[in-house]
Amino acid sequence: MKMGSATELYSHVYSHTRSSYFASLFVVLLAIFFFAYSIQQRKNNFPTVNSYPRDWALKRAHGAFIADAKGLIQEGFRKFNGPFRIITTLGSRIILPVEYAEWVKKSPALDHQAFVSEEFFARYPGFEGTIAVSDPHAVLIGVVKNKLAQSSQVQKFHTHASAGVAEFWGEEEAWHDARWADTGVRLIGLMSASVFVGDELAQNATWQRITTSYAMTMFMATRALRSCPSWTRPFVHWFLPACRNCRAEVKCARQLLQQELDKRAIEKREAASCQDQASVKPEDSITWVEEATAGRSYDAVGMQLGMSMAAIVTTSELLKQALTNICAHPELVAPLRDEIEASVRAHGWTTAGLFNVQLLDSVIKETQRLNPLAEVNLERKAVRDVTLPSGQIVPRGASISVSTSQLLNPDVYERPELFDGYRYVKLRQKGGKWSTASSAVSTSVDHFVFGMGKFICPGRFFAIAEVKTALAVILLAYDVRLKPGYVPKTIRYGFEVMTDPGVCVEVRRRSL
């Protein structure tokens, strides 16, 4: 009996313990499940603005994105009143309102190079330019930051801009077509290449063609690859015509650059063999990259294509838009010329001279405000799960961007839809935050066309100096106007905002 009772008691206690054990396990599992579920929910908690019923192949989503990304962004903020997703032709992007800009700027979990590497396939042959820009050792970025931005290139810019416009437009004193969509890019290509690779290679027509077209060729290849399922990409990139074009451009650029490197090596050997003759290294980015890598192996052509890719489309778009805006506001021409002439008289073609042309600086910054190149900026990839100030989780691997809608915010800018060449001159006079934020190379939450924080564009000083020099050279030597009847417009494709490829600017040589 005793024994029986003990066994019964034991089995009673055991079954009780076992059932409470299972109950506790159940509760713990349930809690884990709900915790994981709530995290998953928070991760997926970004409503999508262009998701449509039965749009399995995303045709409608892509069409809406390409046709009117700006409208979709406005719709997203209106509907969701906070962060949301947008389906793009390059995948999906989380769009944040400007209130998140400072947070994005500081978040160590958000990376720009990882974004470029992932979104622009920095792993396939032909994509050497993207590989160089997203290289984790940041050699190219270091060269742009430490050398390109610091050395004064204004004299070189002036020489090449003057030669360029004389070649493109000549001495004709009658109004004629400036072919501005093309000559604007060629001008920036020439000026940039003179600093990137030195005078001789800069003059080479094939080098000019490749370095001005590579960014677009690479972008077309990216688009073609994105339209293929991800598992096919490691194979199809060998066959897609757009990817083959990329590889052909890299191959041709490599041959041309190698000739330049060989020529430099011979000159160096000759200088070394001639005891009393010191070897003078050319002051250009070929030399700077070689010094920065300090004997480590690197891809010289990748560096050059990466630099051209980052520099030429962006800067030539700004130049084209700025001159078009000046033509559309002819009352700006006389005061701009007066300012440039006074500055050149006092300082010559120098960094100090460019610093003094404050109206030109304002015209350029105002151009960027209305033509910011893209509807979004601060493009980042989350390198780990990261929680937004709103509590939503951006999952590792997701891409985010901040909307540039602040550029048109009437609380910041009076009559924001209008082009006002004097806008930043007037804001600078107001003082306060605008005493520094009004300059074309500066950045703030009210104008971050060059990005912000750790990844801010290191080439902005170079770009602004180039655009100022080119505009000054043009305005001093030529009269400019829009072709009678032409109304300026921009072309939008997804997030991109570009100059009208049919822009009609006319020029005539000034008789001085």
List residues forming the annotated binding site for heme: 457
Q: 């078009």: which residue's tokens?
A: 324
Closer Cβ to ligand HEM, 61 or 440, answer by number: 440
* Closest by CA position to 247, among listed 337, 126, 425, 412: 126
Q: Report whether 158 contacts 469 (CB < 8 A).
A: yes
Closer Cβ to ligand HEM, 64 or 141, answer by number: 141
For 493, the 3-state DSSP assignment is: strand
Q: What are phi and psi of 346, to 5 degrees?
A: -80, -35
Binding flags for ligand HEM, 308-347, as an x/- string (CB under 6 A)? --xx--xx--x-----------------------------
Closer Cβ to ligand HEM, 103 or 486, answer by number: 103
Burial readout 483-502 (b: 16 or more C-beta within 10 A, e: otherwise) = eeebebeeebebbbbbbbee
Q: Measure the CA–CA gap between 72 and 49, rounded to whole angstroms.
A: 7
Binding flags for ligand HEM, 80-119, as an x/- string (CB under 6 A)? --------------------------------xx------
Chain positions 436 to 455 lying near ligand HEM, rule: CB under 6 A, are 449-453, 455
Q: Which amino acid is at 439?
A: S
Exactly one of 61, 114, 148, 388 binds ligand HEM (CB under 6 A); that residue is: 148
Closer Cβ to ligand HEM, 449 or 473, answer by number: 449
State the minimum distance, in angstroms, from the CB of residue 87 to ligand HEM: 22
- Which segment (39-47, 178-186, 247-255, 305-313) binds ligand HEM by CB under 6 A? 305-313
Chain positions 359 to 398 lying near ligand HEM, rule: CB under 6 A, are 373, 377-379
For residue 79, the number of C-alpha atoms closer than 13 Å in the C-beta half-sphere is 14
Closer Cβ to ligand HEM, 242 or 456, answer by number: 456
State the minimum distance, in angstroms, from the CB of residue 464 to ligand HEM: 7
Q: Measure the CA–CA gap between 52 and 80, rounded to whole angstroms.
A: 16
Across the strands, what pairs with 393?
387
Q: Report whether 184 contacts 319 (CB < 8 A).
A: yes
Q: 């995948």: which residue's tokens?
A: 91
For residue 378, the Cα-to-chain-centroid distance in whole angstroms is: 9
- Which segment (35-43, 258-266, 342-350, 458-466) binds ligand HEM by CB under 6 A? 458-466
Chain positions 165 to 224 lying near ligand HEM, rule: CB under 6 A, are none
Q: Measure the CA–CA gap between 187 and 178, rounded to whole angstroms.
A: 12
Residues engaged in binding ligand HEM (CB under 6 A): 112-113, 133, 140-141, 144, 148, 307, 310-311, 314-315, 318, 373, 377-379, 449-453, 455-459, 462-463
